[in-house]
Amino acid sequence: MSDEAEGPLAGLRIVEFVGLGPAPFAAMLLADMGADIVRIDRPNASPIVPDKVTGRSRPTVTANLKNADDIEQVKALLAGADALIEGFRPGVMERLGLGPEPLLALNPRLVYGRMTGWGQEGPLASYAGHDINYIAVTGTLAAIGTAERAVPPLNLVGDYGGGALYLALGVLAGIISAARTGRGQIVDAAMVDGAASLMSLFVEMRCAGMWADRREANMLDGGASYYGVYRCADGLEVAVGAIEPQFHAELLRHLGFEAKDFTDRMDSAAFATLRGRLAERIATRPRAEWLAMLEHTDACFTPVVALGDAPKHPHLAARGTFVEHEGLTQPAPAPRFSRTPSRIFTERRVSLSLGEALERWSDQAILSGQAGGN
């Protein structure tokens, strides 16, 4: 099979130590892009949640990391790897003898990707936490929700946006650096750091006096009439995102308003009044009628679709945003590449022994200069 058929990361070798949430998701992204990833899990481990989606495109190897022989075989695997991904609390890998120091001595080109909530150091580094805690201390959670209370945005902002995506980016940046310099390094991907980074635009707006530290008081937090969710006559919801003047004018025209009715739309003091005005008008018709008028215009007007219905949305169906795989409807690999498309690698979704994993890698042709330290 050609590299073009295997994805843009074909030839990269990564060892993933199975954990929860963000680290497996980061590994899934890289595996879908063609990276050859071996997941190392505990014997007889049962996932807390099914992992047919986030565990796709890569084989699983079981290893007892308290067994000296298994540790040596894991090290042999890592000697030929480009990167490692782990999501344990600080100190766990060190206690297993698999910390960065001995592994970078073994394989100087290794990129050691670490995924934690608090980071490898700091007063809270050794304590438990979850997405809601990480985004709470960064100012992110305080900005999301209604005026009355903050609302957790699932666990997308800390775990996946601020965690997994920054880990994947960091690992790839480390691999590029290692290819250029011959030296690997540690990637400390902390969800608190990533969540704070995601808020960069809003920090910038706040510094410019364009953002208030109150919910539903700003242009993108549900405060402004032109950016929010409204309920139709049949109880179904629509999302409105008509920020720019030309898009807002299109929205008003279809809803039967005149421009003079919303001349103060950018004034936060008028937000509540204007939201009420739009809510009252949208509540007069069922959603299907509004969509027939507005969905195929520049009014930025869409239905709020339930997760189970999303694959059936005409636009997502046309693009193949969701696919059927192993009996599950699941998100297709993203982003898309014109020459080396990502895909879900069915043939890699197997269980291997450590010996089989080592043999598999030793038998494969690899890209020149790609293998760590060998």
Q: Mind telling me the catalytic residues? A: 130, 159
Are residues 119 and 193 in contact, defined by beta-carbon separation less than 8 angstroms?
yes
What is the H or E stretch that residue 37 is in?
strand 36-41
User: How many other CB atoms are found less than 10 A from the CB of residue 179?
Assistant: 13
Cross-strand bridge partners of residue 330: 323
Q: Establish whether the linkage from the previous residue to 335 is cis, with ω within 30° of 0.
A: yes
User: According to the 3-state scheme, what is the secondary structure of 152-190?
Assistant: CCCCHHHHHHHHHHHHHHHHHHHHHHHHHHCCCEEEEEE
Query: 100-103: which pairs have CB atoms within 8 A and are 24 or more residues apart?
Result: 100/186, 103/75, 103/78
Q: Which residue has the tokens 């409807």?
A: 329
Q: CA distances (Å), 350 to each of 8, 56, 150, 353, in order? A: 22, 10, 42, 10
CB burial of residue 46 (10 Å; 0-12, 13-18, 19+): exposed
Q: Which residue has the tokens 């400390």?
A: 188
Enumerate the H helices of the chain as residue ranges.
3-6, 22-32, 68-79, 92-95, 100-106, 131-137, 165-181, 191-198, 200-207, 245-255, 271-282, 287-294, 314-319, 354-363
Cross-strand bridge partners of residue 323: 330
